[in-house]
A and B are shown apart, each in its own frame.
Chain A
């Protein structure tokens, strides 16, 4: 397996966890959805460097080394999704931002155009080592690395802002910052490596190559654990809430039916078609209607309705 395929494993890991979470709980924020998209693209983009895929894609398309440009384009799309994810989590900003789409599109076009300029007649799984001595290859690699580093730098700054503003971000996000720092360092190493390769300084190329591999792998691991560490505690909490909501709905629905009979008045709970993802809204409506019907029927509100004034509930009121 190549270095990039090893690097895809942390991305696959977090993707599997997020898919299991979505399958169980059915709800997730736009931010986590974009994070899933990011993981899927990055994992695919890195996995495509598998020897057998590199050869197959070249054979199918008759374009030598096409796997490399596909891999980079998928990774760029993944990083675009990461930027969307960070944006979606921000409270005040709106998601669609034309400039971000334009920049991503320009990077993709530049990668394809520069790839077309590279003279690489034979398919290899060591593309940069074999053809890195050409100026278009160096520009191709630099364009890719600068985009990746910029998005991760932007994400790391967003994390640091969360810490500075004391919003209770998980400490695991520090690993994400470290991973982003690692990718920034990796971009510098890659640009230096490509420059040395173009200039024919092969001793420097050997030295920088030796540093590149561990920095890449460690950065990927830190990024994945940092992102998962931020998302998974919230996912576990949500799963717990979802399970509790299922239990309460089962207990309270017969109670609401009974109260509707006693009050001689129906609400909308049993008429609404609840989708599985609306479990919170469903429980909210059930609780509210139980209280309404109990009042109308002159009965006490069942304690299981969970109408207590909790700190979290009062937080949202003034």
Chain B
């Protein structure tokens, strides 16, 4: 019974977060369509420092992480990811930036990186679920889900 209730609470919470993610992405004032490069430029603007994309081996099952240094940031994705998954990882880390997440999320990378902050893409807490939903909304904005819409014409 308690399992059922917990499942129901999860669903209600997630529905609310779905709506929140849509609203938050709308509030960013992004163009209806922009490229991933333009989105990264917007994130750099929001962060106030350049973001460098790197493909590096990451510990454990980690697929991506975002490390902030004093004057730059590094967005790392693990090698061997499919293009879809790699972009999803990048969008997840950018979502953290746009959501103005302070410091680390749930893993103690602050200790590991001695004072730098890091976000990691994992889905084991509700906030990470919200970030993932936000990232899915960003995927819509960059035309990642429906690239055919990029064709020309005045009705599209």
Contact = CB atoms under 8 A, between A and B. Distances in A.
B32 A91 contact: yes
Contacts of B133: 268, 272
B115 interface: no
Interface in A224-243: 227, 230-231, 234, 237-238, 241
A251 B37 CA distance: 33
Contact of A307 (B61, B84, B123, B145): B84
B84 A281 contact: no
B129 A268 contact: yes
Interface residues of A, number: 59
B85 interface: yes
B42 to A, nearest CB: 13
Contacts of A159: 153-154
- The residue among A35, A265, A285, A308 with the most chain B CB atoms within 10 A of its own CB is A285
B127 interface: no
B144 A313 contact: yes
A317 interface: yes
B146 interface: yes
25 contacts: A167-B151, A168-B152, A170-B152, A170-B153, A230-B153, A230-B156, A231-B156, A234-B149, A238-B146, A266-B123, A272-B133, A280-B146, A281-B140, A284-B145, A287-B84, A292-B63, A295-B61, A312-B147, A313-B87, A314-B83, A316-B36, A317-B87, A318-B36, A318-B37, A318-B40
Nearest to B53: A318
B84 A280 contact: no
A226 to B, nearest CB: 10
Given A271-B11, A313-B83, A32 B156 contact: yes
A307 B87 contact: no
A257 to B, nearest CB: 15
Interface in B39-80: 40, 61, 63
A245 to B, nearest CB: 10
A273 B33 contact: no
B87 A89 contact: no
Given A280-B145, A315-B147, 8 more contacts: A85-B155, A162-B154, A230-B154, A265-B123, A267-B132, A272-B133, A284-B84, A308-B82
A302 to B, nearest CB: 12
Contact of B82 (A35, A91, A291, A312): A291
A92 B82 contact: no
B18 interface: yes
A296 interface: yes
B94 interface: no
A238 B145 CA distance: 12
Interface in B1-25: 10-11, 14-15, 18
A135 interface: no
Contacts of A287: 84-85
B155 A89 contact: yes
A309 B85 contact: no
A61 interface: no
Interface in B126-148: 129, 132-133, 136, 139-140, 142-148
